Structure 1
Amino acid sequence: MKTSITKDFLLYNETAKNIYHQIARHLPIIDYHNHLDPQEILEDKNYSNLTEIWLTGDHYKWRAMRANGVNEAYITGDKSDYEKFMVWAKTVPNLIGNPLYHWTHLELLNYFGIDEVLNEKTAPAIWEEANRKLATKELSVRSILRKDKVNFVGTTDDPTDDLAAHEKLAAEGYDITVSPSFRPDKGLGIEKDEFMVWLEKLEVMVGFRIENYTDFLKALSDRVDYFDAHGCRSSDHGISVLFFENTDQEEAGVAFRKRLNGEELSAKEIDQFKTYTLLELARLYTEKGWVMQLHIGAMRNTNTKMFNRIGADAGFDSIGDLLLADKLAGLLDSMDVKDQLPRTVLYSLNSRDNNILAAMAGNYQNDEIPGKIQMGTAWWFNDHIDGMEAQMKTLANIGLISNFIGMLTDSRSFLSFSRHEYFRRILCNLLGTWVEEGKMPNDPELLENYVKNICYYNARQFFRIKEQVTAS
């Protein structure tokens, strides 16, 4: 049986169909936040089979299989790649209403030309056909990027990373910009066991001992310089519980010294350290012209038994429900009052916070760039049809959707660029519906500007990306 992925998939009126087919589908992609491996781009890797490129590391699919009663051996365990694929194929028919159902069939169609529903019966033939194509240069990593007209890839990188793959890609003159993003979460996590181990790695990278807080700030500054020299355009912060304390360098330094000495820190001292460190980083980002992305509200590693067995990023994170407005205002205002608030993207994993983020973003706009403070796209548990529509409607209601920087994959799979198509279809249908309902004029030039800017040009301007022509 063929899939439901027709030419007009998710496009429910003529205006939506016209603006998608004539405009949106032809635009290049700027994927400014993902977890792709730059080494695989450098090597132009060919994946050995569909499980390796599709299931390995994909905690979205892992969660779905667990919800379907699949034994962990077939998810993260020692079963063969074919066996893991087969239990995924058995799971897919149960995914109706989940974006994974659509993404799965979009990816099979777009990359492998397979327009067939995946299930237990069709799985063996799909496995053979997909693996045959994966073995060709047609589906090497670089070929996938070219096929999708990707102009920019923003990877996620720890400050202690050497960025060797980024450096080699730049030296090669690779025609797609692969830019590191500065992700210093481990450096702000002073209360965590891994902090001291991470600090030792930082010392190795900067080449000097970190004996006090001043040294620590100097080390972070050196790494920001290093990332900037390697084409970084953005930082990224994963913040489970938002923090803010009115503090100064001396108080943050006391907390840092106590941590070096193995002393226990109070909750206030932890937040003082995190607050001052983030404010100092924001100052550096502003000087470099970087974007600061704040991903707020993921409740991490909730299943202790499985965390001890498998580790982090394995599909046991959830949506947090702590309040954030006061602390977010404190952080942004402390940066802004010193003219040290960089261009910023605000994401919350809890859709309850949509109105808060949209309203908060409006408090700190200025004439530097339209939409200097962004309400980020629907993220993680929200990147489905309802979540994307809700985020865009909230932004339109409270802010200016015309300045929205659009979609990202936030993915570890090179097949996930189909999510940009998914988003673009949803966006075009939303705009088309507004036209059909008389909420927006049927002005072709206005519609074209909205679609082009939201899908591509706003992000290009926001992240200061030069115009490129991707090689065919």
Structure 2
Amino acid sequence: MKTFMDENFLLTNAVSEDLYHNHAAKMPIIDYHNHLPPEDIASDRSFANMAEATLEGDHYKWRGMRGNGVDEHFITGAAKPEEKWQKWAETIPYTMRNPLYHWQHLELQRYFGINETLNGDNAQKIYGMCNEQLLSQSHSCRNLLRQQNVAVLCTTDDPTDNLEYHKTCAEEISDFKSLPTFRPDKAIALEDLCAWNEWQDRLASVSGQSISNFDDSLKALKLRHDYFHEKGCRLSDHGLPRAYHCEFSSADVSAAFAKARAEQDLNEQEKEILCTAYMQAFARWNAEKDWAMQLHLGPMRNNNTKMFGIAGRDAGFDSMNDLPIAEKLSRFLDSLAVEDQLPKTILYNLNPKDNAVLGTMIGNFQQAPTAGKIQFGSGWWFLDQLDGMEKQMNDLSSFGLISKFVGMLTDSRSFLSFPRHEYFRRLLCDLFGRDVASGKLPDDRKFLAQMIEDISYNNAKNYFKF
């Protein structure tokens, strides 16, 4: 019987072990999509305790606690940190076979050298052991990143952000990069026109441009896009329930924008027009600057309206949607490709029903000289667990070239989440190791080793040109 989470965790044969320990494990990390607060990196924040470090903002863990019957007081409420940690530790044994179980124990092992399995009985002992280490400079935010050999991380930033924290990071940090990502979702958040107009006003203020029509809004956003580029940004990111596309005239988009600016409710066609026009503009600017565009497709957000009122956004009340995505996505990508303005693009699906859709869609728009110009993104959000990651890699292998895959990301708000790259790399190595062991692939160790290193790091480095 194998030991729980030993050095060969997830590795089932000698080939897997060689590929991981001698190749994947040594590669630096490029985390090209996460939600880490850049101010914490700029200030080199030190966490006061493990409740702050591991539970603050981590809606994955909050969902697990709710599923275990924990009162909200101990999740997002005003309970003491040690009480929140206790309730989380009591929950951990009941998360077996959920990725939370592996993630939490990887965090304890990799950052704190603790190999015990966490539970309610040893919760306060482990809390004290971890808190003592958190008091050391070795566990400040920057040094937590250094412990995991992070070379580049890309946060998620609104176009109206002044990027002051990224400026601090650029001035003070020389051994890794913390870069912004252009996330203009609020430009197409047309369900709440009062909030949308407030955001347009903020955009006008930060860009120094008045915004009275659609062209004004695009001009202001283009200025921000240029500013982000100056600060090292090389990606845009878009969280969408589905892709948008329709045919429209300049008069159509002008009329829809004017109506929205006047806070007059838009019909579905008018929303589609504005969303399409904005998204096409973002994509064209990305193509001009050789940025990558990330389309995260498929969430259904804020399902629990009562809890949304209590805990707010991104608190663990989102789930998979089941909207069709293929046709609109195809037409959107084609509208750019026909003009030679389709940027490097990474497509992510939240619902596994769309794996084959994206796995085959990327092949429609590949273009030299960029190998893997259109990417089927890694298992994301609810799919960044063993089954979801393996299915994504199998579908990418079946329909495209996994050899050109840009690999894993954390999509996380936690500085302790970076062992998820290790989790992915172990599974990746075992996939190839199993195929070699069964005779499905030749044991060409030199070629396999290079491929594993490429998927772990080199492909992303070359793709994003950091």
TM range (shorter): over 0.9
- Cα gap change, 1:75 to 1:3, in 2 (>3 Å): farther
Q: Which range moves more in the overlay, 210-219 or 255-264?
A: 255-264
Which whole-Å deviations, capped at 9, do the CAs of 1:308-353 have from their partners, x for residues lacking one? 1111100000000000000000100001111110000000100110
Asked whether the equivalents of residues 36 and 413 of structure 1 are also in contact (C-alpha less than 8 Å), the reply is: yes
2:251 aligns with 250
Asked whether the equivalents of residues 359 and 399 of structure 1 are also in contact (C-alpha less than 8 Å), the reply is: yes
1:45 aligns with 45
Which whole-Å deviations, capped at 9, do the CAs of 1:247-304 have from their partners, x for residues lacking one? 2333111110111122221100100110011101111111111100000000000001
2:268 aligns with 267
Q: 2 CA distance for matches of 1:137 and 1:172? A: 16
Which whole-Å deviations, capped at 9, do the CAs of 1:435-472 have from their partners, x for residues lacking one? 1111111001111111011000000011112xxxxxxx
Which whole-Å deviations, capped at 9, do the CAs of 1:344-380 have from their partners, x for residues lacking one? 0000100110000010000000113110000000001
1:469 aligns with none
TM-score, normalised with respect to structure 2: 0.98
2:237 aligns with 236
Corresponding residue SS for 2:61 = helix
Shift of 1:3: 7.6
Corresponding residue SS for 1:47 = coil
Q: 1 CA distance for matches of 2:308 and 2:153? A: 30
C-alpha RMSD of the superposition? 1.1
Asked whether the equivalents of residues 241 and 323 of structure 2 are also in contact (C-alpha less than 8 Å), the reply is: no
Asked whether the equivalents of residues 28 and 457 of structure 2 are also in contact (C-alpha less than 8 Å), the reply is: yes
Corresponding residue SS for 1:182 = coil
The letter of the residue matching 1:25 is A
2:407 aligns with 406
1:329 aligns with 330
Asked whether the equivalents of residues 3 and 115 of structure 1 are also in contact (C-alpha less than 8 Å), the reply is: no
Gaps of 5+ in 2: none
Does residue 1:192 correspond to 2:192, yes or no? yes
Does residue 1:157 correspond to 2:157, yes or no? yes
The letter of the residue matching 1:178 is S
Corresponding residue SS for 1:61 = helix
> Counterparts of 1:313-324 in structure 2 under 5 Å?
313-324=314-325
Shift of 1:4: 1.4
Shift of 1:83: 0.3
Asked whether the equivalents of residues 243 and 332 of structure 2 are also in contact (C-alpha less than 8 Å), the reply is: no
Q: 2 CA distance for matches of 1:249 and 1:326? A: 23
Shift of 1:208: 2.2
Asked whether the equivalents of residues 16 and 431 of structure 1 are also in contact (C-alpha less than 8 Å), the reply is: yes
Structure 1 consecutive aligned stretches of length 4 or more whose deviation exceeds 2 Å: 171-175, 190-193
2:343 aligns with 342
1:207 aligns with 208
Q: 2 CA distance for matches of 1:245 and 1:272? A: 6
Corresponding residue SS for 1:461 = helix
Gaps of 5+ in 1: 466-472
Q: 1 CA distance for matches of 2:38 and 2:338? A: 37
1:397 aligns with 398
> Counterparts of 1:40-439 in structure 2 under 5 Å?
40-172=40-172, 174-193=174-193, 194-439=195-440
Corresponding residue SS for 1:238 = strand
Q: 2 CA distance for matches of 1:208 and 1:138? A: 45
Shift of 1:173: 5.0
The letter of the residue matching 1:312 is R
Corresponding residue SS for 1:347 = strand
Q: 2 CA distance for matches of 1:413 and 1:432? A: 31
Q: 2 CA distance for matches of 1:145 and 1:263? A: 47
1:468 aligns with none
Asked whether the equivalents of residues 183 and 235 of structure 1 are also in contact (C-alpha less than 8 Å), the reply is: yes
Q: 2 CA distance for matches of 1:86 and 1:119? A: 8
Corresponding residue SS for 2:459 = helix
The letter of the residue matching 1:222 is L
Asked whether the equivalents of residues 29 and 151 of structure 1 are also in contact (C-alpha less than 8 Å), the reply is: yes
Q: 2 CA distance for matches of 1:434 and 1:233? A: 36
Asked whether the equivalents of residues 155 and 181 of structure 2 are also in contact (C-alpha less than 8 Å), the reply is: yes
The letter of the residue matching 1:441 is P
Asked whether the equivalents of residues 242 and 297 of structure 1 are also in contact (C-alpha less than 8 Å), the reply is: no
Which whole-Å deviations, capped at 9, do the CAs of 1:392-443 have from their partners, x for residues lacking one? 0000000000000000000011110000000000000001001111111100
1:451 aligns with 452
- The share of aligned pairs that are identical, in percent, is 48
Shift of 1:227: 0.4
